[in-house]
Amino acid sequence: MTTVYFVRHCEPNYNNHDDLTRELSPKGLQDCQLVTDFLSDKEVDIVLSSPLKRTIDTLKPFAQSQNLTIETVADFRERKIDDVWIEDFDSFTAKQWEDFSFKLENGESLQEVQNRNIAALQKCLQDYSEKTIVIGSHGTALSTILHYYSENFGLNDFLRIKPLMPHIVCLEFDEFTLLSLKEYTLYKG
């Protein structure tokens, strides 16, 4: 059995609109300890992450405590919305969940995000079979993975987990077959 813990990053600094360099807020930095505490007894073999700063920084204290390195995987990154900041994020998000192929001119559809995240996950399942893996992730990216394994997972589920930072989802696999899925809410308000 291969166990994968997807860790949605802690609270970011929303004043930084650059997706690549958006750091954690002071609360987010503090909440990294929740992630470390949760994962500390899980016998983790490898730590992977989206290349975005907020996911790496969320996992850094845990990885250091276990003497593990964090390997970045570009395909686990968050969706690209567009080249500009979107003020009406809720309406945009609803459109994307209604139509998985909808995207802005310079952005990605949820289908594209799901395709690259699932391909990256399947490569991990192949490369790290029978291991315990931690993957630093994002709300939308993780939601598309959950939708892949349960088509009933939709907009309302995304909205439910949207404020949960950090949030952990554990998936257990027999080769490529999902055996179980469990959510852990670490968010402390």
Taking the C-alpha atoms of residue 121 and residue 127, their distance in angstroms, rounded to an integer, is 10
Cβ-contact 50, 44 below 8 angstroms: no
What is the band of 189 on the pLDDT scale with cuts at 50, 70, 90? Answer: low
Say how far apart CA 51 and CA 54 lie, in whole Å.
9
Q: State which residues form the domain around 159.
A: 2-185
For 77-125, write each residue's pLDDT tens digit. 999 998 888 888 889 999 999 999 999 999 999 999 999 999 999 999 9
Mean pLDDT of 11-35: 92
Mean pLDDT for 14-34 is: 91
Provide mean pLDDT across the span 3-21: 92
Average pLDDT over residues 163-173: 96
In whole numbers, what is the pLDDT of the chain averaged over residues? 95
Q: Which CATH number does the domain housing residue 120 bear?
A: 3.40.50.1240
Check residue 87 and give its pLDDT.
83
pLDDT at 84: 81
Token duo for residue 58? 């969320």
Burial class (CB in 10 A: 0-12, 13-18, 19+), 7: buried
The percent of residues above 70 in pLDDT, for the chain, comes to 98
Query: Averaged over 126-148, what is the pLDDT?
Result: 97
Tokens of 117: 């995240």
Tokens representing residue 102 in the block:
């909808």
User: 129 to each of 133, 177, 178, how far by Cα in Å?
Assistant: 10, 12, 13
Q: Indicate the number of domains in the chain.
A: 1
